Amino acid sequence: MRALTPIGNLMTKLVGDFQYSDLEEKICTPDQLHPKPDTSALVFGKYFTDHMLEVSWDSKRGWANPVISPMHNLQLHPGAKVLHYAIELFEGMKAYRGEDGCLRLFRPDRNMARMLSTAERSSLPTFNADEMIKCIKRLVQIDKEWVPYSTTSSLYIRPTFIATDPSLGVASPNEALLYVLMCPVGPYFTSGFKPISLMADPQYVRSWPGGCGAMKMGANYAPTIYIQKQSELLGHQQVLWLYGEDHQLTEVGTMNIFLFMLNKNGERELVTPPLDGLILPGVTRLSLLELAREWKEFQVVERTITMAEVIQAHEEKRLLEIFGAGTACVVCPVSSISYQSREYNIPRTEPSLSQRFLKTMSDIHYGRLQHPWAVDIQ
């Protein structure tokens, strides 16, 4: 039996999850290091750090060892499934440099849970979330000087998962690559914390029941870019995505949407659409809901809300504010909605709930408020 143990361990390694303990590191030589941009010049997704993380997989051997190496281009066969059938997914998360100098991730377990859910829906293999988080932490440690020394900037982390096998058959992939890129970013909106205007046109639909709107896969985003451009041509910053004959609110741009309002009984409510398959289960969305429930100052409701209800609340002066929420911007207030040839100006109290959420989240991100959601890296 003892003679069989090493073979048994080997087989487990070949077909099982990858382990942080097997991580291989290939660190940049001094001449491979890139100059770091000034914090004031940061543009979302333009500058990348010196290193990346990669883990390859195939159906016969399972996961290979994770590798951290200098940033480099990928080599893909022209027939790789990702290029033809969009078998691809990604996550968006951040590392922050706290005022105390400590580096922190924000709720990485939630990102990994969502990534695994999307992987399953995409017929890609799953992996051990805890081991992946350890690998990401190590990647941030190696490129820690890329984390901005700023409380308005952060290091954006993009875990990505693609099908790489060279086959044009429409079938589950036999080869895949899990990798992580990182880039320093400033505020998502260069204008700062300013309200944005929305175009709400029911002829355009982002997701539908039974579809993949609740998954963070690239195929959900490509079809929205054209509509986003149309909204910009009309003078708006983002699209308010509607669904159904009753024009249900789903998302705003790439953010979850929140309404703060008085219900018909005069009670304050924070309302956001439910996780019914039409919207992405945002980590920021979850965090705002949990904060609001901890505060116990107003009702917190997850339910369907239609444009007719928004308009009625607006006319009856029960609408207090509307805002979007997501990893990139954290919180973004809405100034107006263009809907069926009419412009609805959205009120906003001072100080607003959106400002309070932003401050609380920022305090957690940058270590001003100790919180279990902030996961120390060093």
Considering the chain, what is the average pLDDT of its residues?
93
If you average pLDDT over residues 38-45, what whole number do you get?
Answer: 87
pLDDT band at 7 (very low <50, low <70, confident <90, very high): very low
Least confident window among 12-26, 242-256, 283-297, 349-363: 12-26
Q: Of 329, 354, 358, 334, which is closest to residue 346 (Cα–Cα)?
A: 334
User: Are 261 and 334 contacting, i.e. CB atoms less than 8 angstroms apart?
Assistant: no
Q: How many CA atoms lie within 13 A of 244 on its CB side?
A: 12
CA distance linking residue 282 with residue 275, whole number of Å: 10
The residues, any chain, with a CB within 8 Å of residue 133's CB and separated by 6 or more, are 105, 108, 109, 112, 375
β-pair type (24-25, 67-70): parallel
pLDDT at 215: 97
* Structural domain boundaries in the chain: 20-185, 196-365
Long-range contacts from 136-141, C-beta under 8 angstroms, 24+ separation = 136/53, 136/105, 136/108, 136/180, 137/105, 137/377, 138/20, 138/23, 138/25, 138/68, 139/51, 139/52, 139/53, 139/68, 139/180, 139/182, 140/95, 140/103, 140/105, 140/182, 140/377, 141/103, 141/377, 141/378
Residue type at position 243: Y
pLDDT for 141 beyond 60 = yes
If you average pLDDT over residues 344-362, what whole number do you get?
Answer: 93
pLDDT at 366: 96
Structure tokens of 198? 């929305």
Q: pLDDT tens digit string along 179-207?
A: 999 999 997 766 667 899 999 999 999 99
pLDDT at 45: 85
CATH of domain 20-185: 3.30.470.10
pLDDT at 202: 96
CA-angle at 153, arms to 102 and 143, nearest 5°? 55
If you average pLDDT over residues 174-182, what whole number do you get?
Answer: 98
Q: Which CATH fold topology does 196-365 show? A: D-amino Acid Aminotransferase; Chain A, domain 2 (3.20.10)
Q: pLDDT tens digit string along 67-112?
A: 999 999 999 999 999 999 999 999 999 999 999 999 999 999 999 9
pLDDT at 348: 84
- Asked if residue 187 has a cis previous peptide bond (ω within 30° of 0), the answer is no
pLDDT for 9 beyond 50 = no
β-pair type (330-339, 196-200): parallel
pLDDT at 192: 63
If you average pLDDT over residues 151-158, what whole number do you get?
Answer: 95
pLDDT at 190: 63
Show the 3-state SS of 253-292: CCEEEEEEEECCCCCEEEEECCCCCCCCCCHHHHHHHHHH
Determine which helix (DSSP H) or strand (DSSP E) holds 96, and give its type and residue range: strand 93-97
